[in-house]
Amino acid sequence: MKDLIQKLVESWGPSGYEDRVRELIRAEIADVVDEWRVDALGNLIAVRKPIRPGGMRVMLAAHMDEIGVMATYVDEKGFIRFTNIGGVYPLNLRGGRVQFRDGRVGVINREEKAEGDPTLAQMFIDVGAASREDCPVRVGDPAVFLRDFVDLGPRLVAKALDDRVGCAILIEVMKQLQDTPHEVVGVFTVQEEVGLRGATTSAFGVEPDLALAIDVTATGDTPEARKRPMKLGAGPAIKVKDRGMLAHPKVKDRLIETAERLGIPYQLEVLELGSTDAASIQTSRAGVPTGCVSIPTRYLHSPSEMVDYEDVTNTVRLILGFLREPIDLG
C-alpha cells in the first residue's frame, strides 16, 4: 500500500478542489466496484454489491481534501497575503513552502517586526514576483503544503495523511472485499476540513443502514504531549467519543469484538478536540448508527504528519472483518 499512499499524499487537493485526487482514486477502483458516480458536491461514491443475502447498506467514508491556504491580497511588491483553508496553525508555517494549482511554488514567511506568537495576518507568501503586476497568483487562488512522502520503514511521513491514508485504506477494502452480505458503499468525501460538507450531502443521498468513517486521530506519545491514550503502533483506534459525536455503542462493540476475534491490536479513542465525517453522517435523515476507525497520527495538520504502517494495514483487516458477517443492532 505504500506506493498508493505516496501517490495520494503527493496529489494536490485542498478543500473544494479535490478533482485530481478524485480522478486518481476513480482510476484505482473503477475495475473492482460494481458502479460508481460523482455527486453534485464532488463526492466519489463507489458501490460493491453483496456477495450473499442478509446484510445492510453500509457506508464507509474517507475524505479526499487536505488543509491549505488561499490568497486574499497581493501587495505592490508582489507579496501575497492569505487565509486558511481548514485548520492551519501559524506555528507550522514559517519557512515552509506551498504549491498553487498551476505548480507555482511559494515560500511562507513572517513580517520582520512581528512579535509574540505568529498569526496568519502577520504572514505572507513569496513566489519570487517583483510587483503586483508581475505576480502570477490572483486573489482566491488556493495552495497546499509542499512536502515529499518519506518511508521510514515502520513509519510514514507526509503532508495530507489526514485523510489520504484513510482513502488508501478504503481503496484497499474495496479491492479486497470478497465475501460479504452487505452492500458496501465507499464514499470518498469532499470538504471535510471546512465543515464535514461532503459527508452531509452524500449520507443523505446514500441512505445507509450503518456507517463507518475512516480518519486520523491525534496521539499522546510525544514528549510533553497532551494526555491521550492513542499512540503509534498500538493498532487502529476505535472511536468512543470526540467533540462532534458519540459512536453508536453497538457499532463500537462490534468493532471491538471483530478486533479481538481476529487478534488485531486496537485502541479506544476519546478525542477532546476535533471530529470526523461520522458526526454528520449519524445525524443524516432520521439518523444512522455510526462508528469511526481512526489511524493514530502524530503532528496533525502540519506539513509532516506521521503514521505507523502496521496500524494502517491492521485497519484494513479490521474493516474487512467487520463486513464479513451480518450485523445485528437489535
CA distance linking residue 234 with residue 267, whole number of Å: 7
The answer to whether 325 is a known catalytic residue is: no
Instruction: Indicate left, alpha or beta for 301 from its phi (over 0: left) and psi (-120 to 50: alpha).
Output: left
CA distance linking residue 105 with residue 209, whole number of Å: 45
Per annotation, catalytic residue among 192, 193, 269, 305: 192
CA distance linking residue 19 with residue 256, whole number of Å: 35
CA distance linking residue 169 with residue 310, whole number of Å: 12
Enumerate the active-site residues: 192
